[in-house]
Copies of this chain bind each other. A is one copy, B any other.
Amino acid sequence: MTLTAEKTNVEQQAIDAKKAAKTLSMLSTEDKNEALHTVASVLEAEYETILQANEKDLNKGREKGYDEAFMDRLSLSKERIYEFAQGLREVADLEDPTGLVKSDWNLENGLNVQQVTVPLGVIGMIYEARPNVTVDATGLALKSGNAIVLKGGSSALSSNQVIVEVMHRGLEKTKIPKDAVQFIASTDRSATQELFTMKEHIDVLIPRGGGSLIQAVVNNATVPVLETGVGNCHIYIDKAADVEKALNILVNAKTDRPAVCNAAETVIIHKEWLDANKDQLIATFNEHDITPHGDEYAVSILPGAIPAGEEDWANEYLSKHIAVKTVTDVTEAVEHIETYGTKHSEAIVTEDHTAAKTFLGLVDAAAVYHNASTRFTDGSALGFGAEIGISTQKLHARGPMGLPALTTVKYQMTGTGQIR
């Protein structure tokens, strides 16, 4: 494979990946783990090369005037690269998700039927600025026996490209063919679009990044997509909510890490609860620097609240702003979530078990919570080890996706000449 933009031939890279996936799919768990450890060591040994490439991206970023948060995501250090390597070792320690016999039975005629987990094949990863995805996604793909075609954002091009070159030098010392990791160096939009329709060579596309990236993939790809990430999450504070629990959960879900997908973006509040607890709510917003945007009733109660419109209900703030919607019952809360939610994580705070049951049953989302913060929708919080993303779709995988999401099944039938 080639890494220079001039020679990039996306289709050839995908074909090479598919061929390598065959070899990879037949390797033992030990061979794959050994390879991950080798790549980890080489990443550590060559950290300076990676930092040099990263410097190029950072310079370009400074020229373009990217904001601090963006530059921070882009920026690497010796410590961060060592963390990438450590991540690969942790993936090596996880259970191999392939080769597991999920069911095994004999038909009356003696035909043995086994349903066995196998790799998906070739994963197409389309992602934005963070160079850590390059390493993390590669580790998860290889461990689960999949080849990967990486298409990162142009702002991290040099970093990603050199990380892949370094990983290739590692793979050359292992049984995993280096073609199992392909990096699309072209920054052309057409290169990405080629990936969208390459059904013959790519088994699944996983977009990771902002909403517009994800929508572009979902709307244009004929390759099946694992849709991840956008979380317009709600906390519903019911009439029967405990005040302390409600405020703790609200503050945690809004302010712990406002920019992540499992952070809360709207709080839906029962009007009676709001009337009874407005002073404490206002004090909480003040204390934690939370800016409310509200519907008419909320604005009438909360000093300084900004009138909320369609945009406030529909979008993620990813900051310490929050939309406040007032309702008169749990059904109205469920309907609001139905209209504006992104099927990620939704919580109810209440001591009324009937209301909780209604909410958990009717809200259509990957994760529904009763009296807890939405922040737990996360592979590491749930104990999955690494995570390839959080699925907000219903097919194949839903919620935080660990290694098993990168596998499919195959029926293996062993007979002695059985016919039907």
List residues of A whose CB falls within 8 A of some B CB. 22, 25-26, 105, 107, 111, 113, 120-121, 203-204, 218-219, 222, 224, 226, 242, 244-245, 248-249, 251-253, 256, 360-362, 364-373, 375-377, 381-383, 393-396, 398-399, 408-420
Contacts and interface: CB of A to CB of B under 8 A. Distances in A.
A362 B121 CA distance: 11
Contact of A219 (B222, B242, B396): B222
Nearest to A19: B338
A365 to B, nearest CB: 7
8 contacts: A111-B372, A224-B395, A242-B417, A249-B419, A253-B419, A256-B419, A396-B396, A398-B410
B376 A418 contact: yes
Nearest to A334: B22
Given A394-B204, A395-B396, A395-B408, A367 B242 contact: no
Contacts of A245: 416-417
Contacts of A219: 222
A103 to B, nearest CB: 10
A120 B413 contact: no
Contacts of A366: 410-411
Contact of A372 (B249, B361, B371, B418): B418
Contacts of A244: 417
Contacts of A253: 419
Contacts of A418: 371-373, 376
Contact of A368 (B120, B372, B411): B411
Nearest to A245: B417
Contacts of A367: 410-413
A349 B291 CA distance: 70
Copies per complex of this chain: 2
Given A203-B394, A420-B376, A26 B111 contact: no
B22 A395 contact: no
Nearest to A375: B420
Contact of A413 (B376, B393, B394, B414): B376
A75 to B, nearest CB: 25
Nearest to A199: B218
B107 A393 contact: no
B411 A377 contact: yes
Nearest to A367: B411
Contacts of A394: 120-121, 203-204, 224, 408
A249 B25 CA distance: 28
A370 B411 CA distance: 11
A415 B121 contact: no
Contacts of A107: 376, 381-383
Contacts of A399: 409, 411
Top 3 nearest A-B pairs by Cβ distance?
Answer: A372-B415, A252-B419, A245-B417
Contacts of A218: 222
